Structure 1
Amino acid sequence: MSCDPSSDTPALGRPTEIPADPESAVIDRVPNPHADTDYVTRFVCPEFTSLCPVTGQPDFAHIVIDYVPDQWLVESKSLKLFLTSFRNHGAFHEDCTVSIGRRLVERLAPRWLRIGGYWYPRGGIPIDVFWQTGETPAGIWIPDQGVPPYRGRS
């Protein structure tokens, strides 16, 4: 089944500017051709950046998003633009991680979603933030997110 770009996918197939901030970023969606099937889709962003809201210095994270779609799939270009919009946005690690998950849930209404934000050390302390919409659905395989605990230089 091909996905025909519609009003739900304004960035698909067109040059698009990076949004100035997460609030103005548009998350495009496309119809799920297998809405009758439970399966997991994973997106990994190993080079996520945002700004510390206190110092203005950059923060770095490895973000992993797993979701069980219902009627909609996130269009990957718009997801990349949305995640990139955080690079000049000041927010704490917890706020960034949970906000990403909530925006995706609001736009896609998935059956289930979890996000792991594995933040690199700030002040010598790595911070990992996890959020999910509820119990893991029965009968589907959810692999480990595959991000080892931070060990620094060994």
Structure 2
Amino acid sequence: MSKDIYQNLDQLGQQTALPATPEAAQLEAVPNPHPDVDYLARFVAPEFTSLCPVTGQPDFAHLVIDYCPGDHLVESKSLKLYLSAFRNHGAFHEDCTVAIAKRLVAVIAPKWLRISGYWYPRGGIPIDVFYQTGLPPEHVYVPETGVQPYRGRG
């Protein structure tokens, strides 16, 4: 695969400012070097942060994003910047998790996508949010996320 597939990327290989909002973030796609093969790509964001839309207090989550690429992959730096843009964004856990999934689906049109959002307790209650686009393609190995349910200090 030639390097010219990277020529239309605006963020890779240079200093890029953190987007002010998730809507302002530019998610970039690159051609999948193996569109003829069904395989799983996984991104893990163990330090995801956003804000409670009511109190403005910070919320923290461990996100696991699994997808089976179609014709495009998400460029990882653009994904990192997109996820970081939630740092000052007020939204409930469910909204953040599902919005990330829907944005990825819109940009890269994967054959399958699953996001697991393991949110740390707010008001003493941990909230886990899961979303997927359907059944994974047959014969694709989809490992467990490896994230344990919240147990407190026990």
> 1:133 deviation in Å?
0.5
- What aligned pairs does 1:65-84 form with structure 2 within 5 A after superposition? 65-84=65-84
Q: Which amino acid aligns with 2:132?
A: Q
| Partner Cα distance (2:29, 2:137) in 1 | 22
Partner of 1:38: 38
Q: Which amino acid aligns with 2:102?
A: R
Normalising to structure 1: TM-score of the pair? 0.97
Q: Which amino acid aligns with 2:150?
A: Y
| Partner Cα distance (2:12, 2:93) in 1 | 29
Q: Which amino acid aligns with 2:37?
A: T
Q: Which amino acid aligns with 2:143?
A: P
Alpha carbon RMSD of aligned pairs, Å?
0.8
| Partner Cα distance (1:101, 1:69) in 2 | 14
Please identify runs of 4+ aligned residues in structure 1 that moved more than 3 A. none
Q: Secondary structure at the match of 2:66?
A: strand
Q: Secondary structure at the match of 1:130?
A: strand
Normalising to structure 2: TM-score of the pair? 0.97
> 1:2 deviation in Å?
4.2
Q: Secondary structure at the match of 2:120?
A: strand
CA contact (8 A) 1:61 1:117 kept: yes
Partner of 2:109: 109
Partner of 2:125: 125
Q: What number of residue pairs does the alignment pair up? A: 153
| Partner Cα distance (2:54, 2:68) in 1 | 35
Partner of 2:23: 23
Query: 1:8-60 deviations in whole A, cap 9, x for unaligned?
Result: x2101111000000001000111101000000000000000000000000000
> 1:136 deviation in Å?
1.8
| Partner Cα distance (2:139, 2:46) in 1 | 28
Query: 1:69-114 deviations in whole A, cap 9, x for unaligned?
Result: 0110111000000000000000000000000000000000000000
| Partner Cα distance (2:128, 2:91) in 1 | 15
Partner of 1:48: 48
| Partner Cα distance (2:137, 2:29) in 1 | 22
| Partner Cα distance (2:3, 2:114) in 1 | 25
| Partner Cα distance (1:53, 1:3) in 2 | 42
Q: Which amino acid aligns with 1:109?
A: A
Percentage identity across aligned positions?
67
